[in-house]
Amino acid sequence: MTAHILSAPEASLVHHEDHAEEHADNAVFGFWVYLMTDCILFACLFATYAVLRHNYAGGPTGKELFDLRYVFIETMALLLSSFANGFAMLSLYRRERATAVLWLIVTAALGLSFIGMEVNEFAHLISEGNGPNRSGFLSSFFGLVGTHGLHVSVGLIWMTVMMGQLIFKGITPAVTSRLQRLSLFWHFLDIIWIGVFTIIYLMGVL
């Protein structure tokens, strides 16, 4: 019953389709609701950062720590990854399995470069004594950027599983629905990153 109420506005999409696809549409909507709660999680971390951003405790400031050229390359890797994921989905809808897998490999490789750069940045900061325990500013920095990085890492594991499912199960309705949710998740993480590079890195250097 609830399922019918939820999908009522989408009647044009589902009225002629079987029950499985209606279920898949609801699953994608449910995942979107989860992403919105994730948005609130990130909003909490952004608020914490905004409150603590000048609490350096005598430690280094953003201007001294951040290398914008490095962050720009990270940003490009994630943006290109989000873009490549779009093409993976387009291949999926054209039912071109091999092309979809290839685009997913490109997406994952770019995502992995992003995570690699971030881990390298964190390791560098911590080795110089500027870890999360250095100041309130650095705690909130590691909290926010680390949570985003953790999301991207989970997305990479999910993407690897989906490549396997595409190869071994083919383009079934269930696999398509899972890939739609993964795609939402991936684009969402790039949108969160816009906030991260603007508020933390760029405004931190200003």
Q: Which residues bind another protein (CB under 8 A)?
A: 6, 9-10, 12-13, 16-17, 21, 29, 32-33, 36-37, 39-40, 43-44, 46-48, 50-51, 68-69, 72, 75-76, 79-80, 82-83, 86-87, 89-90, 93, 173, 184, 187-188, 190-191, 194-195, 197-199, 202-203, 205-206
Query: Minimum Å distance from CB 120 to another protein?
Result: 20
Whichever of 39 and 167 has its CB closer to another protein, that residue is: 39
Q: How far is the CB of 76 from another protein (least distance, A)?
A: 8
Nearest-angstrom CA–CA distance, 160 and 8: 34
CB nearer to another protein: pick between 123 and 194: 194
| 86 vs 132, beta carbon nearer another protein | 86
H helix intervals, the chain: 2-7, 11-14, 19-52, 62-65, 68-93, 97-127, 136-169, 173-196, 203-205
DSSP per position, 51-73? HHTT--TTS--HHHH--HHHHHH
Query: How far is 2 from 8, CA to CA, in rounded Å?
Result: 10
Q: Which is nearer to another protein, 72 or 120 (CB)?
A: 72
**Smallest gap from residue 127 Cβ to another protein (A):** 25
Rounded distance, CA 72 to CA 174, Å? Answer: 37
The string of DSSP letters for 108-131 reads HHHHHHHHHHHHHHHHHHHHTT-S
Q: With respect to another protein, which residue has the nearer C-beta, 101 or 202?
A: 202
Question: What are the two backbone dihedrals, phi and then psi, of residue 82, each rounded to the nearest 5 degrees?
Answer: -65, -40
Least distance from another protein to the Cβ atom of residue 162, Å: 17
Query: Which is it for the CA torsion 88, 94, 95, 97, positive or negative?
Result: negative
Compute the least distance from the CB of residue 105 to another protein, in Å.
18
Least Cβ distance, residue 109 to another protein (angstroms):
17
Of 122 and 188, the one with the shorter C-beta distance to another protein is: 188
Q: What does DSSP assign to residue 170?
A: -
